[in-house]
Structure 1
């Protein structure tokens, strides 16, 4: 079954411009034209779902493209998946520390947030050092903000 670009865009929830961009990048391929409109095989919807999953996990379009072999079949590099999972773990830990710090700051009874040592660790949890000074904490001080 062939789908025109408008139907693929509607079903995938993407603008046609994104489909054209993905085609230019070699992530999807049209199978012909009907007048000026690109036609796609119905399997493109599954491929678009895989691309969306990869994007949601933080993979670049280049990394996603490399997950398909020359024949368009999925050929995922498992080491790359593990590396991305580790990266997500680090991001989750950083975001949890930020969340916990913000909750503490909202309840903190210090006269000024700048007098609260836990508040002062929030920028560090965000990866910018103590209030942007680039101060490095010792191992002991790296405990989550709670």
Structure 2
């Protein structure tokens, strides 16, 4: 099923636990949306009753394993005919963007979404687009006298 053929109203939020959770629940209720969550089993066990009770369903997955989480959330979304995906934490923006792309749902372009979470990728995207950006260096050694920093190898 293509996501555009699904009935409106079902949204998957990648990890709604946190400060924005109550606002998402309230917004979904106002808009008449069915709210689903993608989360880890241990995190879900700690959901406050108001959040847990407001969810139409939960996809339990390991969000620390993005390839696995992507496959499992995609299968969940297709089973539950979910038409939209959102990330509650910016940490999960790349996952939400890749999931939306797989589903054919509106969302961020996965490549810039990933670049927004990685300074080296972000700098490369800026350079490609002709956007001025500060000089930086990728340093593999976290020691105080990193050879890259001392040698002046900047991008």
- Return the index of the structure with the highest Cα Rg: 1
TM-score, normalised to structure 1, is 0.28
Q: Which has the higher contact order (CA 8 A, sep 6+)?
A: 2
| Structure 1 or 2: more helix by fraction | 1
